Structure 1
């Protein structure tokens, strides 16, 4: 896939030029650069359709960078008897683990604590046995029975104490350990986008859809706005796929309010704490009154979440309140020997789930199933769903687009093949993983650094190592964020579409939630590395650093507020740079 997959500054310019050239028309234009949007672009282009994608901010800048970072079947949906959704998700989990993205998606163990003697162990055990059986059945068809994960196992209270010594043993009757998978969600989005670009899709970030072009009843294109050059232009397309997530209703308004999808935003927040604050070799689940909290291993950290509450305020920057954080701390502390408090919290992030509305029940009970509609000829809209099943959502959206293309006189479109298209970095990953010691010796990097890079770049690790070979200074860790190398910042700009400081600190890396200062200390060096590549002036560089510092302060202030309204007012006090 070579340089064709690189989301470089030049690639963005080329994409905008081709998409906006008068007389040009793509088969499919996707609006929205979250996981569903980039998945739809990959699905379309690998079916042989000319494809473009525009995103008003950065890839994964909304919901798709703020999830629990799990690729899972959903035990919660199993309990709700939503077997079809669980089976579908487990099938997708298996594909990602074993075929599509083994470098990005990895197994993670969880303990399901048992607090009641007698009935609870056989009840939960039966559910997990069914969970594993569905995964095994799907894997038989796809991978010769390889689920990519171990099966669940029952543990006594003593065994739990060995695995998780910080659990309150007096609260437990034992546990069941099972496995799901995790992924850096923003990295998955960027990698899917790169894979789409490698196959010919034109990807343009910082480009907003501000209106639709109509010919009679049919939508034939969009009016787009390049936020960086502040230019309006038109993009012609035979079908538009709206994958705008929580902005679905707003996009629908641009076509005259016609459409049958209405999306309700549900806010979920997570906190990040250092790994040494909870001694455990396994993640675990904490039961709440309405749902569960996941305590998820994340490198040298734990991610703990989530909440599930209605949100009708600013959708670009949902805010976590002190009440949200207190809720998570209160519930996780019920099972810990040494309670966590606010001083233990390194990072906090809040995201919005796009749930199909029209239901009277609370957001915590609304299903994550997705829906695709075609409100007017030439426009396909998709909403709902979950990270794990992004590929199925994308397939369904392009199936609907194919039907619209046929109704417009086009020949039959080929079926989806994305279940057999490895993502960038998957090819060569096993070989490079086997060569990790050799790569460490050749590059001069510590073996732990090679493992870190393999888990982020897979078989494309040579792109990073080649940068370091050309510029040995890029092998240095970032000051204030030593888990990452300077070379990774350069690569984020040249290959991964980063154009602003927060693109790198928040999404290409996770420095913003993995350091107690939220990345403020690393910001000047990271900005300098970005600025060298994008030609920033000293004033522009200073503005980027200042904006990031003020962003962190606005988030900290919002997290001191007790109500959503107050938290939102504190967070939106800082406008975006663009």
Structure 2
């Protein structure tokens, strides 16, 4: 029976003991490759190197996907707008990666999503846009998503009833892919660990080890214990994203890569505020507006503005939210208001600096350079092409290793939870009957855990109370909070409410009412005292209050100051 098989499907558990073991193993003997950064590219590089048979370590200062990789538009796409820039190579590459993600690497986390492109001119625009979308479909090989189709205005309004009738004369519908970016990045790291990589969060690089001019590893501060360790490595990959320049400073100043941070803000509104079966994409004067279906919500984004303030916690201002509401309302029959917004998040794109003063014109291609011997840096790119960036970074280090290293094989390596996904999905009614959970609940769990769903259901079978939803967050079970700490590397309350789940942007109170329950559930797993659990809840509530305050501020500087009013829970201690 599938349920018995599901219960036996396991993967390496990212729990506190695994983290301690990983840090110890990293110091036991020199690594072949040390990866700095637990975003999608760093996690991808760790998986790439581990599946080539190398001894690999990954260190991340905060949490997996804590930066840019949890704050995207949640899309895997080729970049339709790059066709207009005639960047066919970038689009073709991204569409190939989209197909891999949807069909082979993580079908449990990704799915096709439809979009309307409204037309406002009757003849030439349909031909112009239609030709571009036809090319987009052709370059993508039409693998994993349906082909585009032309719609009259009446047909478009049937697909998107909330659309203003005067906002279009017709439309083109096409498909791209959607992925939960934070869970995907964590699953990448967990898969890397499954193949032998030593991975650890709350592990901040404070300096490099050197032999002459050569980098031979890094000094790493364990932010949980305050202990400083030295990790020796034959080669080091810096995949720190918007922190690339800071890492370069540690090795003697700026090098061949200069990264410029561009802020992208998204807002989240409940699904019932917009009646539609499809997303929508529209041009704005500064960027592209997406209205994206996201389970029981819509994600609306994005902005594209220069950011030179705090990199760890980029703040969305009221002007950012107003910008998104104004442009969305230009398309919608019933305007959205600030009261409709239940979540806001801001992320920083690590763009390669160029001559343009406009961040929307900077390159989304990536670069791999070696500023000093023993250190390779990778930056730029886009979420969809993370695997290519990781491959190029590992390719750049293997020639300096003392033995022949096999080529990249990550295009054939499914992430944990993907193996057996189709069988698990086909057995969802049986799983619902045997677990006593509603079918919709099982489908939600399958799209988050894939064939590892049995590990979550086992918690519910052992403790039936874990089958109840969390307070204020009915989409998520109490068991999911426990599982995040037991198997998914969550060390703090913020990790669970913001990245392992999306409670912080989906719940009307941003997760405040769930905080105490989650802290109580995970305290035994994470070894928290009552005082530590209370401190975690206070930190989270302060963070939510600071974010809400920042979103009332008129500009970036005042928003940044408000957001920094809440301390980071990972403050660390001096070594």
Asked if structure 1 preserves the Cα contact closer than 8 Å seen for 2:286 and 2:304, the reply is no
Asked if structure 1 preserves the Cα contact closer than 8 Å seen for 2:315 and 2:556, the reply is yes
Asked if structure 2 preserves the Cα contact closer than 8 Å seen for 1:97 and 1:106, the reply is yes
Alignment of 1:62-77 (within 5 A): 62-77=67-82
Q: CA deviation at 1:521?
A: 0.8
**Structure 2 equivalent of residue 393 of structure 1:** 389
1:376 matched to 2:381? The reply is: no
Question: For residues 494 and 298 of structure 2, what CA distance do their matches in structure 1 show?
Answer: 22
Q: CA deviation at 1:338?
A: 0.5
Aligned length: 563
Q: CA deviation at 1:492?
A: 0.4
Which of 143, 146, 164 aligns to 1:147? It is 143
**Structure 2 equivalent of residue 505 of structure 1:** 497
Question: For residues 396 and 2 of structure 1, what CA distance do their matches in structure 2 show?
Answer: 32
Question: For residues 513 and 45 of structure 1, what CA distance do their matches in structure 2 show?
Answer: 34
Deviation per residue, 1:242-292 (Å, 9 max, x gap): 000000010111111152111100000000001110101100012201321
Asked if structure 1 preserves the Cα contact closer than 8 Å seen for 2:118 and 2:167, the reply is no
Q: CA deviation at 1:422?
A: 0.5
> TM-score, with normalisation over the residues of structure 2?
0.97
3-state secondary structure, aligned to 1:411: coil
**Structure 2 equivalent of residue 8 of structure 1:** 15
- Indicate the larger mover: 148-157 or 163-172: 163-172
1:188 matched to 2:193? The reply is: no
Question: For residues 283 and 201 of structure 1, what CA distance do their matches in structure 2 show?
Answer: 38
Which of 139, 157, 162 aligns to 2:158? It is 162
**Structure 2 equivalent of residue 245 of structure 1:** 241
**Structure 1 equivalent of residue 418 of structure 2:** 426
Alignment of 1:510-549 (within 5 A): 510-549=502-541
Q: Runs in 1 of length 4+ with deviation above 2 angstroms? A: 1-5, 358-361
Q: CA deviation at 1:476?
A: 0.6
Deviation per residue, 1:309-349 (Å, 9 max, x gap): 00000000000000000000111111111011101000000
**Structure 1 equivalent of residue 293 of structure 2:** 297
Which of 188, 195, 198 aligns to 1:199? It is 195
**Structure 2 equivalent of residue 443 of structure 1:** 435
Q: Which structure 1 residue ranges, 5 or more long, are not aligned?
A: 137-145
Asked if structure 1 preserves the Cα contact closer than 8 Å seen for 2:9 and 2:451, the reply is no
Question: For residues 282 and 165 of structure 1, what CA distance do their matches in structure 2 show?
Answer: 10
Which of 39, 42, 46 aligns to 1:41? It is 46
1:135 matched to 2:131? The reply is: no
Question: For residues 439 and 3 of structure 1, what CA distance do their matches in structure 2 show?
Answer: 17
Asked if structure 1 preserves the Cα contact closer than 8 Å seen for 2:286 and 2:303, the reply is no
Question: For residues 51 and 278 of structure 1, what CA distance do their matches in structure 2 show?
Answer: 47
3-state secondary structure, aligned to 2:406: coil
1:479 matched to 2:501? The reply is: no
Q: CA deviation at 1:233?
A: 1.0
1:211 matched to 2:239? The reply is: no
Alignment of 1:262-341 (within 5 A): 262-341=258-337
Question: For residues 33 and 5 of structure 1, what CA distance do their matches in structure 2 show?
Answer: 17
**Structure 2 equivalent of residue 552 of structure 1:** 544
Deviation per residue, 1:187-212 (Å, 9 max, x gap): 00000001000000000100000000
Which of 52, 57, 63 aligns to 1:58? It is 63
Question: For residues 40 and 397 of structure 1, what CA distance do their matches in structure 2 show?
Answer: 7
**Structure 2 equivalent of residue 141 of structure 1:** none
- Indicate the larger mover: 288-297 or 264-273: 288-297
1:366 matched to 2:373? The reply is: no
Q: Which structure 2 residue ranges, 5 or more long, are not aligned?
A: 1-7, 571-575
> TM-score, with normalisation over the residues of structure 1?
0.96
